[in-house]
């Protein structure tokens, strides 16, 4: 078992460290070791993040912002020598967020992050990156980020993703995605993954154009819902196809027969599907 990494604040992990991360062998049981990082203080400016993602206010904190607060912990875990995968080429496929109560701007927070898995998928394997954020001794926010790696063995089985309940759209708008959106989001998030930045760097990973970061797309969708969604709630989302830059996509939202929020982001095909229910 890997010792828990303890930090005062989440560490800054450079793109170079991500790039040179080597894959470690999986243990004999085929499971990723329990690699965990903790920080006693989670602090980061939120105002510019709110502007880039389209939120009208930065307090309470946007539901997606705690993930950004813990980003250094995530990278400390994923670049640990015992972690068995390289980071370039992994794909964010699903997201679950439990916002257990609103988090006020400036509230003292701490957090932890760890990994579990993998499990086979059709073309590779999936693992989960877990995050918990605390105010004092109370967990106020937790998330599970599901990530696909094609470096892991797949089983070739086609799986049908569970579909959220149908909804009647009562809101629709078009997003114009600028060519520099990936770079603007990287400036506030610290995530300088080359696939999101420039056409040349995106082509190195098989894309003709840069693609939108999944966390930006999810945050932008929540910003569209504005004050209709607040903690406590549970958000689930699945990412189906990339959003290239520059580009134009349609966001639509509505409520299910049970009164829960549903939303979609589409180009010619579905790109992002999400649902929000009371906690």
pLDDT of residue 105: 94
- Confidence bin at 3 (pLDDT 50/70/90): confident
Distance of CA 196 to the CA centre of its chain: 14
Instruction: Pull the structure tokens for residue 48.
Output: 């510019």
- Confidence bin at 156 (pLDDT 50/70/90): confident
**pLDDT of 177 above 80:** yes
First to last CA, the chain: 33
Q: Which residue has 């400390």 as its token pair?
A: 76
pLDDT of residue 189: 93
**pLDDT of 231 above 80:** yes
| Residues spanned by the domain of 218 | 5-278
- Confidence bin at 59 (pLDDT 50/70/90): confident
Percent of the chain with pLDDT over 90: 72
| Counted domains in the chain | 1
pLDDT of residue 181: 97
Percent of the chain with pLDDT over 70: 99
Q: What is the DSSP string of the chain?
A: -PPPEEESSPPP--HHHHHHPPPPPPPTTS-----EEEES------HHHHHHHT-S--SSPPTTHHHHHTHHHHHHHHTSTT--S-STT-EEEEEEEEE-S---TT---EEEEEEEEEEEETTEEEEEEEEEEEETTEEEEEEEEEEEETTSPP-----PPPPPPP-EEEEEEEEEE-TTHHHHHHHHH----GGGT-HHHHHTTT-SS-B--HHHHHHHHHHHHGGG--SSEEEEEEE-S--BSSEEEEEEEEE-TTS-EEEEEESSSEEEEEEEEE-
pLDDT tens by residue, 80-113: 999 999 888 789 999 999 999 999 999 999 999 9
pLDDT tens by residue, 20-45: 888 888 888 889 999 999 999 999 99
pLDDT of residue 164: 72
Q: Which residue has 């995605």 as its token pair?
A: 177
CATH number at residue 257: 3.10.129.10
Instruction: Pull the structure tokens for residue 123.
Output: 């073309």
């Amino acid at each position: 078992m890997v010792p828990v990494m303890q930090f005062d604040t989440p560490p800054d992990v450079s793109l170079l460290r991500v790039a040179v991360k080597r894959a470690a062998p999986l243990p004999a049981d085929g499971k990723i070791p329990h690699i965990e990082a903790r920080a006693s203080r989670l602090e980061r400016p939120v105002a510019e993040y709110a502007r880039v993602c389209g939120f009208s206010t930065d307090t309470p904190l946007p539901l997606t912002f705690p993930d950004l607060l813990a980003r250094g912990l995530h990278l400390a875990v994923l670049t640990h020598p015992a972690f068995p995968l390289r980071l370039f080429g992994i794909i964010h496929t699903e997201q679950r967020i439990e916002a257990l109560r609103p988090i006020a701007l400036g509230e003292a927070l701490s957090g932890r992050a760890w990994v579990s898995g993998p499990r086979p998928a059709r073309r590779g394997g999936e693992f989960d990156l877990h995050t918990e954020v605390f105010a004092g001794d109370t967990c106020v926010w937790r998330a599970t980020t599901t990530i696909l790696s094609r470096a892991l063995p797949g089983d070739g089985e086609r799986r049908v993703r569970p579909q959220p309940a149908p909804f009647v759209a009562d809101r629709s708008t078009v997003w114009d995605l600028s060519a520099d959106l990936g770079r603007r989001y990287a400036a506030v998030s610290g995530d300088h993954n080359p696939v999101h930045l420039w056409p040349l760097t995106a082509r190195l990973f098989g894309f003709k154009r840069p693609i939108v970061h999944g966390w930006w797309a999810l945050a932008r969708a929540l910003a569209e819902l504005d004050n209709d969604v607040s903690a406590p709630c549970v958000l689930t989302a699945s990412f189906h196809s990339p959003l290239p830059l520059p580009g134009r996509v349609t966001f639509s939202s509505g409520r299910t027969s049970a009164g829960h929020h549903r939303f979609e982001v589409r180009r010619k095909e579905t790109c992002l599907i999400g649902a929000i229910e009371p906690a």
